[in-house]
Amino acid sequence: MEQFFKLKENGTNVSTEIMAGFTTFFAMSYIIFVNPAILSATGMPSQAVFLATIIAAAIGTLVMGLFANVPYAQAPGMGLNAFFTYTVVFALGFTWEQALALVFICGLLNVFITVTKIRKSIIKAIPESLQNAISGGIGIFIAYIGIKGANIIEFTSEPANILAINNTPFAFDGTYSNIFSVITNGGIIPALVDFTNPATQLAIVGLVILVILIVKNVKGAILISIIATTLIGIPFGVVDISNVSISTGGLSSAFADLGITFGAAFGPNGMQSLFTDPSRIPLVLMTIFAFSLSDTFDTIGTFIGTGRRSGIFSEEDQKALETSTGFKSKMDKALFADAIATSVGAVFGTSNTTTYVESAAGIGAGGRTGLTSVVTALLLLACMLIAPIAGIVPSAATSPVLIIVGVMMMSSFTKINWEDLDEAIPAFFASVFMGLGYSISYGIAAGFIFYCLVKACKGKFSDVHPILLVSTILFLINFIVLAII
């Protein structure tokens, strides 16, 4: 194990990697339950999506650990699954089978741009100031996820600002039954909650415990805080252990449903019907493009934001990325592992599988090698049998971890020259839009756009790398397409 994962070389050991693997798992395990809830709205069997989510996440994470030897987990991405359901299926009228086919093609496209070095060329083209902004921005993003998950803030939307409910124009008819999405046009008022919610109280307790353990440099602080907060949640009434059981009956039923989604991307309602209507082919291509753009930059942002700061991608590895051919650097291998995971997930029946920003929790716990990923993958597979046990860990226990990891990552802001507006303006928009826009890729888009704008205004447009310029144009096209459709 030492020789395979090179633990000493990476300054870690087996126990640290195992704790990091557990930490990443607990931080991301919500996707096992949330993804089926979102995708099943399209008509996909919920139990099939449950299994597909686990299988895609486990395979992708194992490849990341065993092939690239880096501590990143993969799973169907939040945001991408919402785009799959509410835009591709509901708004654009694709069947869920066709949507899976689109995801599969997106995965193949990502493999192509990885093998042809387009992905790593994009990474090399990003200026250092923007890379630091992306790292700090992910800190804001992941801390915001934690604050939301802890229910520390609430949002009020006044009726006059509600535009759509369930993707149809809003018209109050006296009932709000079966609502799965609400779209508003401003008027959202954020505020602190009144702290009467037991789950919020538990999250505050967990945050205090974690801060104390972190400041005291207690080894395994993150995992200890998750376990302690979960146990404290029992008397709080937040954690219910009365329904915990391990059953294989439900598993056999889930596997039967998996037969409906497995390979559906290639069936008569999927790939075989995707290109039969010539009038919809431009829409098909634009949708694949939108999928790929978000997936690619989510991954690049996660690697830049977490890998370089922690030393997972060393200077030697970064040099190998720039000069080597094939898959000789960790980054090359990690990008390839991420690319193939999307297509694998589509085959089983789930939306885009991507590198999870919650991996930062495991990295914050000391994870530095693929052993962390292997542990996470094994825990994901175990969830097929012990999903009820995994499900008792409340977001109130994992949210404080994301908040503190976000704090750690914000140190990258110190490397930005905030007195130089050439750096400060793109860095600001990249980092703030990442959190408030709830999207790594759109935060990067904002940074790219304002970087090009600033350089153009200063008469330094020649400083903009051609790849960064092309990426910016593609983002703009993507925004225009989204506006049209």
Task: Write a three-state SS string for 259-300.
Answer: HHHCCHHHCCCCHHHHCCCHHHHHHHHHHHHHHHHHHHHHHH
DSSP string, 228-239: HHHHHHHHHTS-
Q: Work out the average pLDDT over 90-119.
A: 91
Per-residue pLDDT at 472 = 93
Per-residue pLDDT at 326 = 65
User: Distance between CA 334 and CA 327 in Å, rounded?
Assistant: 9
Paired tokens of 278: 């010539």
Burial class (CB in 10 A: 0-12, 13-18, 19+), 192: exposed
User: Distance between CA 482 and CA 445 in Å, rounded?
Assistant: 14
Residues 6+ apart with CB under 8 A from 20: 71, 362, 363, 365, 366, 367, 368, 372, 375
User: Distance between CA 440 and CA 294 in Å, rounded?
Assistant: 8
Going by C-alpha positions, the residue among 210, 205, 195, 194 that lies closest to residue 234 is: 205
User: Distance between CA 266 and CA 347 in Å, rounded?
Assistant: 8
**Which of helix, strand or coil describes residue 187?**
coil
- Per-residue burial over 69-104, b if 16 or more Cβ lie within 10 Å, else e, is bbbbbbbbbbbbbbbbbbbbbbebebbbbbbbbbbb
Q: Work out the average pLDDT over 7-13.
A: 92
Q: What is the pLDDT of residues 314-370, one digit of tens each?
A: 767 666 666 666 677 788 889 899 989 999 999 999 999 999 988 988 998 899 999
CB–CB of 139/310 below 8 Å? no
User: Which amino acid, residue 127?
Assistant: P
All structural domains of the chain with their residue ranges: 2-154+197-403+415-484
Q: Work out the average pLDDT over 20-27.
A: 92
Q: Work out the average pLDDT over 179-206.
A: 83
The residue whose two tokens read 């939301």 is: 148
Strand partners, 211: none
For 182, half-sphere exposure in the C-beta direction (CA atoms, 13 angstrom radius) is 17
- Per-residue burial over 166-186, b if 16 or more Cβ lie within 10 Å, else e, is eeeebeeeeeeeeeeeeebee
Q: What is the pLDDT of residues 36-86, one digit of tens each?
A: 878 988 999 988 999 999 999 999 999 999 999 999 999 998 778 888 997
- Distances from the Cα of 458 to the Cαs of 35, 41, 421, 422, 462, in angstroms? 45, 49, 11, 9, 11
User: Distance between CA 415 and CA 132 in Å, rounded?
Assistant: 7
> Which segment of 169-183, 279-293, 388-402 scores lowest on mean pLDDT?
169-183
**Which of helix, strand or coil describes residue 18?**
helix
**Which of helix, strand or coil describes residue 156?**
strand
Paired tokens of 438: 């709830």
For 105, half-sphere exposure in the C-beta direction (CA atoms, 13 angstrom radius) is 21
Inform me whether the pLDDT recorded for 380 exceeds 60: yes
Burial class (CB in 10 A: 0-12, 13-18, 19+), 323: exposed
Q: What is the pLDDT of residues 226-260, one digit of tens each?
A: 889 999 999 999 988 776 665 555 678 889 999 99
Q: What is the pLDDT of residues 261-304, one digit of tens each?
A: 999 999 999 999 999 998 888 889 888 988 888 888 888 888 87
Per-residue pLDDT at 208 = 96
Residues of the chain above pLDDT 70, percent? 89
Burial class (CB in 10 A: 0-12, 13-18, 19+), 67: middle
Rg (CA), the chain: 22
- What is the average pLDDT score of the chain? 86
Q: What is the DSSP letter of 85?
A: I
Inform me whether the pLDDT recorded for 135 exceeds 90: no
Q: What is the pLDDT of residues 467-482, one digit of tens each?
A: 899 989 989 988 887 7
